[in-house]
Amino acid sequence: MKKNGKELLGLTASELAVFMTKLGEKPYRGHQIYHSLYREFQFDLSTMTELPKVLRKKLANNKISIPKLDSKQIASDATEKFLLQLEDGEKIECVLIPEKNRQTLCISTQVGCSLNCQFCLTADIGLKRNLSSAEIVGQVLYVLFHKRLKIKSAGPTLHPKLSNIVFMGMGEPLQNLENVTKSLIILSDPEGMGMSPNKITLSTVGLVPQIKKLAQSPVIPNLAISLSATTNIVRNQIIPINRKYPIEQLLQACNEFPLKARQRITFEYVLIDGVNDSDDDARRLIKLLARIKAKVNLLSLNKGKSGNLKSSSNDRIQCFRRILVEKGVPTYIRRPRGSDIFAACGQLHLARQENIFLALPS
């Protein structure tokens, strides 16, 4: 297949219909391609037998670019990390997390990241570029196809299931909002991937203007905020974007974010020994979240770009949680998954495990 044609992956149903109209074809031909891609996992235009041979020949100059596998690792807890190569040779990582009653896929939105959070290895790569909508959706398609999974559905035959998708991989999703929005449309479209928006979560460090834009998007996922501090002084140090969008502005945007009746915003809090894990921090967190429908996920600091930082002890994490729970804040301790293959939060780095260990300080 020639490589200088139009990329058809990542186009919405309406965009494909318009594309076909411009070729002099009926709009429904675009919907046939859309169905073949996202429901049938057909990634070769020449084999889409719903289309007439003449049309397939006419489309031969266009392309459908699914990421290719560079390498895969399986952790001791069965978490799988996929290092995927894109059309231009750049690489990204995504992670499949199996649990008793669900399977979650964590996907990336950028090659690298520019935000330099002090507990995230991805920051060491820097930002190379945004992912296209094709490359975002392509991660899901790759895993669904090669793992023989299907999106969780009410239908009785779709087993095994992919039950949740989280935009928590490499990059800051809201720096790539246009392509993320398009991918959300495709992922949640009943005629496309068919994933309920209630099962899709987007995590951000807190880009306030983009949070407000996300609130106006045609598909609004669950929102997760990487907070990890209760004062601007501390958050400025560990999440530098806070200097531009301080905690007060971030929480105001969260307070205005549209939520369904039983929906809450998740606040992710990485506990760092002696930095943000005191009883006073817990009490401040309660006050900060008082006006927001919130729940809190407490996370250990995973081995990675941490310098002299170290994770809070298990006892300290339990104590921190107890203070929040006693004041009625739903709080959960999230144990790291896949940390032995550097697949846990803050560990994605475009490198094989052994190479990362060699590069990290002891």
Catalytic residues: 93, 345
The SS3 assignment for 304 reads: coil
Report the Cα–Cα distance between both ends of the chain, in Å, rounded. 48
Nearest of 357, 349, 362, 359 to residue 111 by alpha carbon? 349
Judge whether 10 and 188 are in contact, CB under 8 Å. Answer: no
Q: Where are the beta strands (DSSP E) in 177-321?
A: 200-204, 222-226, 265-271, 294-300
Q: How far apart are CA 268 and CA 225, in angstroms?
A: 6
Within its chain, how far is the Cα of 212 from the centroid? Answer: 18
DSSP bridge partners of 311: 272
Measured CA to CA, the distance from residue 210 to residue 349 in angstroms comes to: 25
Q: Please compute Rg for the chain using Cα positions.
A: 21
Please check whether residue 211 is in contact with residue 204, taking contact to mean a CB–CB distance below 8 angstroms: yes
What DSSP line would sit under 263-288, residue for residue? --EEEEEEEBTTTT-SHHHHHHHHHH
Residue with tokens 């076909």: 20
Query: How many angstroms separate the CA atoms of 175 and 181, rounded?
Result: 11
Residue given tokens 């720096």 in the structure block: 175
